[in-house]
Chain A
């Protein structure tokens, strides 16, 4: 469907919903819809990003296909949401990645791992992959400190810029004014909503995954991914501080903070992503957007691989596999950094922006 058709369909769907309103107990989308009588392009893009895809409204819908109104709210909003990702992503030149996101992310991942392995191989020689490296600094024996810090710092900077520009674009596209982004209380509310995944609880009883029954399982899997990811981030940040502030380079003993956080985080990340992939494969496809399936799966697999290679590296760091695993882990993380602003990760920032917007307008009404 063209962008225009998507918007028209979303407008049609929301107009029917607004005359019904039976679903208002499920999430934030319907109360936000009820603040309006008509739906501008900005409104629709905002509502599309506010939707958490819990599917309660699909199974409860008396107008769902094959009813002649053919209402499919989650699918319609998911398709429009993908369109907003494409439109808001920065820099715009790379937008085409969204057309074949699964494939692109897979290729970038393979390439990233290959490049890191090959670079390591050519700079350090084949012995680096088969020897034992233990003790302080052993990671840097495989990949020099600067070779880690410089590319990842640059990429991190690019990532933050890209996400920032993307949110800025989305904020404008959904009708927001720049000064509204400074609403401290709205941010506080949105952070609370995110930390609890409030709108994945479908009005108190969970999402409809993998079928029409209510279940908390998707929320728990997502919590596991979110908090796992945060722990990994914390682990990396603390490790960086150990290294550069305290001059204590990795690897660290098992009972150290970075390793503990990374281990728990990595396992949570793996468990959550594995669960999410299971739900994706088993779920009813009717309320899903087929266009974003590849993107969703690619990102989830990439997160799983990040946790998996990290944990493997920890387990086998005193064996000759350490060199290969370190290079592989860094390759996967490199791919994650590269693809984050052009894939499913965007949902984290864009949905947050929509939640801020929702907090602002609900406090006004």
Chain B
């Protein structure tokens, strides 16, 4: 099982539906297509142990529902969903497609439950999502385990370690795929293809096209297998692009995190309680602009804009217990001088930055749960909330790096999840689902659990439509 039984799969056979990818969208597509009577081959480029793409790092999805249930505390209807989406994207969305996705997401939880996914009440610390988002018991990997078990039971042929490197497309029709099975080249024929193989955020060379050498210092929060090979192939073969190719969702995470796959535990929630300095020990942005959950998404880009793409969040003993514990221990020092030398910053400059900041803070009533009145005066950049002097040792430092989560560039699709080509005509037998097309709906910004909504909805649509195409 660990490497897939590809030696027992007859690849000379023409499958009905080829699903490229192994995350949520791919599995939803494969399950739906197989349930609709098609014979499905699913090729996952990761080995068994790392199957599931970035879905293995997720933990909830957002879906339209008219009433509370055992894991959601109240209704979430189309207009509110749409308004939320409009707000985060600033209008960079396709309303028709977005509303279609929202409507199609109705009661997704029931569909998922029937395919083995379990839910739990909202997690502690994420109660603001309790009404809108459904949390999987055990998180995304448990969900993917359930989907893989369901797909296998239905008879989907699954091969791990199978990277699709190119697609043969003739006159806008998919013919075959070039596959590397643990680096052995093969050709796979199928009557239709569903591309659900994610974005390109793990492809540093590609990121460099927009970010330059700074990308060398980026950390990739998720799977190293999302290299955008299929996205590139589709775009090269005439698919119409969507979304800003130079943008990605990028948060500030602990610089000590692994290069890839660090996932949730590398997040740091301490920024708003102290100051953040760059490698020259200077502040560069208002750390207290808004609640952290609303602001963490901009800090990745902020740190990416600093020299050597590094920042340091500095707090003191009064704040150390105010945020979720993180995976790496803080760097601790009894004085600012000592902290500076431990962080490899210039002690004189850091002392100056801290004392200037401390002098600029105005007395207020500190309250981490509201936008409090602890502000700085006459300081540039100012800190507009939670600004308390850093004066209580020990002092703590956390190094920060940009952590890339996903990219926005994708292929355009229509309501049937068909890939739209440069001439604005949909390809008859090429479908896309998940991150490779989520830029149609989420052109900008971030919304918790929406990536999985898009993946599940369009995975199901693609599976159904591909099966229907094959039967014609």
Contact = CB atoms under 8 A, between A and B. Distances in A.
Chain A partners chain B:
yes
Interface of A: 15-16, 18-26, 34, 37, 56-57, 59-69, 203-205, 212-214
B118 A203 contact: yes
B127 interface: no
Contacts of B57: 62
B122 to A, nearest CB: 10
B124 A34 contact: yes
Closest 3 CB pairs of A and B: A60-B138, A22-B139, A25-B120
Given A15-B325, A23-B139, A60-B145, 19 more contacts: A19-B326, A21-B123, A23-B138, A24-B124, A25-B123, A25-B137, A57-B138, A59-B138, A59-B141, A60-B137, A60-B138, A60-B139, A62-B264, A63-B263, A66-B49, A68-B258, A68-B261, A204-B137, A213-B145
B348 interface: no
Given A20-B265, A25-B120, A62-B56, A37 B142 contact: no
A4 B52 CA distance: 36
A120 B139 CA distance: 60
Contacts of A64: 49
Interface residues of B, number: 32
Interface string B101-142: 000000000000000001011011100000000010111111
Given A16-B265, A19-B265, A68-B258, A59 B142 contact: yes
Contacts of B267: 19
6 contacts: A21-B123, A56-B137, A57-B138, A59-B141, A59-B145, A62-B139
B472 interface: no
Interface of B: 49-50, 56-57, 59, 118, 120-121, 123-125, 135, 137-142, 145, 149, 258, 261, 263-265, 267, 321, 324-327, 329
Residue in B138, B265, B326, B327 with the greatest tally of chain A CB atoms within 10 Å: B138
Per DSSP, are chain A's interface residues mostly helix, strand or loop, or mixed? loop
B142 A16 contact: no
B73 to A, nearest CB: 16
A205 B149 CA distance: 15
Nearest to B222: A62
Contacts of B325: 15, 18-19, 37
A30 to B, nearest CB: 10
A15 B145 contact: no
Contacts of B123: 21-22, 24-25
Contacts of A203: 118, 120, 137-138
Contacts of B118: 203-205, 214
Contacts of B120: 24-25, 203
A124 to B, nearest CB: 58
